[in-house]
Amino acid sequence: MLWHTFIGIEENIDALYSPSHLALIVGGALIFTAAARSWLHQKQRSKLPAILSMTLFYILLTFFSQFYSPFIIPYITVSEKPVDIPALDPHSLAAKELSGYNLPMAGFIIHSAILVAVVLYMLRKMKLPGGFTIMFTIATAYGAIILDQYRFIPAAMLTGFILDTYAGTASRHPRWTGLVLPIVLYSLYYITIFLTDAVWSTMHYWLGSILIAGSTGYLVSLLFQDDHFPTP
């Protein structure tokens, strides 16, 4: 309240990135991960509380980065094209144009990093090679409520199912997991868009965005390279 009293009340996007509200991320993370941390130390038989706990933590991270989320605001689509993007001029490198064109790419990078980090932590530390179908479905469904983007739920669900199916392989090969997981997810993402909408970008852009998402996941996976991924 002191922050609001002396500095003012945040509005719009400022409410997400205000230092006082960023502190809420820490508090929310501690609350949401309580069951996961408890399971980690006590190793209860049921893994569902830990899975749901990490799902809430993942939702928290995506909530505070929702304006870059490809699943909440699909900027790459014609229907959600950023208003500041002018007609494509291949000879122009104006900052105004580049800012609009790079907005979708920023979302792919940020959310690929978040996704791979959470998944690899669950595989490495928590030894939870499963439950990703539940996690991806709930998290995407929650994001879909914000702007009615329910069309992406099947893509997320299928990605989680594939990861659950090959969880043993994924746990033994974290680098491949970091690379392939975002590529699979965003390939299904674009298939969904092509079936329900259209993209405003060129093929070079949207194909490149899939590869950049995979590359981002691969780089994040390097943080786990010295850790042993147990076989389930």
- Please state the domain extents for the chain: 52-224
Reference 104, options 177, 207, 12, 223; nearest CA is: 207
Rounded distance between C-alpha atoms, residue 111 and residue 71, angstroms: 10
pLDDT digit string (tens) for the chain, length 232 residues:
555 566 666 666 666 677 777 787 888 889 999 988 888 877 666 788 889 999 999 999 888 888 888 998 888 888 877 655 555 454 554 544 555 677 889 899 999 999 999 999 998 777 776 789 999 999 999 888 888 889 999 999 999 999 999 988 888 889 999 999 999 999 999 999 999 999 988 899 999 999 999 999 999 999 887 654 454 4
- φ, ψ of residue 116 to 5 degrees: the values are -65, -40
pTM, entire model:
0.84
- Which 3-state string (H, E, C) describes 117-136? HHHHHHHHCCCCCCCHHHHH
- φ, ψ of residue 126 to 5 degrees: the values are -90, -15
**225, two tokens:** 């390279």
Reference 112, options 181, 201, 166; nearest CA is: 181
Residue 172, exposed/middle/buried by CB under 10 A (0-12, 13-18, 19+)?
A: middle
Rounded distance between C-alpha atoms, residue 103 and residue 109, angstroms: 10
Strand ranges inside the chain, DSSP E: none
CA distances from 30 to 27, 53, 100, 116, 201 (A): 5, 10, 35, 20, 40
